[in-house]
Amino acid sequence: MRRKTFYLLFFTMYAASCAKIEHKVIHEPAYLRVFNNLNFRVTIDNQHQTLSTLTMLINPEYGADGLPISAETVGDFLVTREPYAPPYPSHIGNALDVYNPEYPGKERVIAGPILNGFDLSSWAQIPSGQMRIAFYARPRSEVPFFELEARYRAALLIDTVLNLQAKEVYTMHVLQKDFNTKENGILLRQENFHKLALADSLLYINFYNMSAKGFWEASDGLKPANRNHFLGISGSANFFGIRDEMNVYYSLYDHRTTRPDPIAAHTNVFLTHLMRDTESPAVARYHPLPLFAGSHADAIQSFLLQSISLLAPQYDGTDIPNQSAQLYFTPYSYAHIVFSRHTGASNRDIPWNGWGSSLINNGIALPNLIVQTHSGVNNPRSFSTVNSLEVVNETVYLTTVQRVYDPPIY
């Protein structure tokens, strides 16, 4: 009898281990990535209120009481995004809590494919067509949205209907449109980087100022602290936004030199004019930057660092940086973004300004625009990326995508 029981148990376990796994297939999908850009100043008075933690519901269903009870797609625990969104899904399988800095992020979904050579694994496949999308503010707790008390499922923030086309790539931003009236909204951008003729030998970057109307003019005491940090480096502690109209400049540096100074042909070069805009879904023009430059470019490994400077129109490239005391005493008229390599343990990893001062001292640190990885027989090899730099109120965000590359050969 024991032997029969053993065989029966063994067979049951074997059959369970061989159970067929149903793989969900989405026909004619759209590809969606969502960022929560809301970031509020937390005070004693509002610390217990639902603020910037969100739940996204696509095609929700509602009960008799008018509260949501289910949805075709759920993006729960959406907290304020992180300053850097890398070109791979860095959050899935690497989480100590449920809080999600983007969608899909930590959610287990069908990821986007490789499309025209670009890795879309940070995007989720969702059904295309017309859909209702709602965002609810929720308490910051680990209780799933539909298990919350009814009173916590009633804070509707945004409710809209959108039409997502099949095989198109979308990035959705939840943001504050007016700092004084507290109006919130969404901006849905239909990306085009996978449709452009972009060279492998160049970096690309475009720029957006999605700050709320009236933010930079408001008292700094009403603004939250900026979220910029990179591997322990604090960003500009007094960065409380930029004006609605700015000019953009770039510089390049060779990090193999001690205290890297700008490369002569790539110092404070004008790129574009930037206007605040929370309404237009249009994709901003991508600007090319060299992947290799200087006398040591070998087409295998690049040693470049980059910096971006945002200046009010009354200034020009000769004012970058620290040269004009007036510039640094004119609020909201400048921002320096440094694309570093490490934490600053070595002077070689941080751009300098040509006057003996590290740009980290007055800049916002973000990861380098160049991907260094083992590919083929080269370890490392340098690869170009396509980037979006987004200023949202008091924080600068960088989103990076890249093409697929050959696996390493050991």
> What pLDDT does residue 200 have?
92
Lowest mean pLDDT among 49-53, 133-137, 289-293, 400-404: 49-53
Residue environment code for 338-374, b if the CB has 16+ CB neighbours within 10 A, otherwise e: bbbbbebeeebbbbbbbeeebbbebbbbbbbbbbeee
Tokens of 332: 């909201």
What are 204-229's pLDDT values in tens digits?
999 999 999 999 999 988 888 777 75
pLDDT greater than 70 at residue 156: yes
Residue written as tokens 């700008």?
Answer: 262
Which residues are registered as beta bridge partners of 372?
Answer: 382
**DSSP annotation of 231:** T
CA distance 342 to 292: 19
**Full strand arrangement of the beta sheet holding 287-290:** 84-85, 395-401, 386-392, 202-209, 287-290
DSSP 306-344: EEEEEE-TT--GGGTTTT-HHHHTSTTSEEEEEEESSSS
CA distance 362 to 235: 8
pLDDT greater than 50 at residue 6: no
DSSP 82-123: PSEE-SS--STT--SSS-BSSBSTTS---B--EETTEE-TTS
Q: Are 262 and 302 in contact (CB under 8 A)?
A: no
Domain definitions of the chain by residue range? 29-190, 197-401
pLDDT greater than 60 at residue 38: yes
The residue type found at 410 is Y
pLDDT greater than 80 at residue 8: no
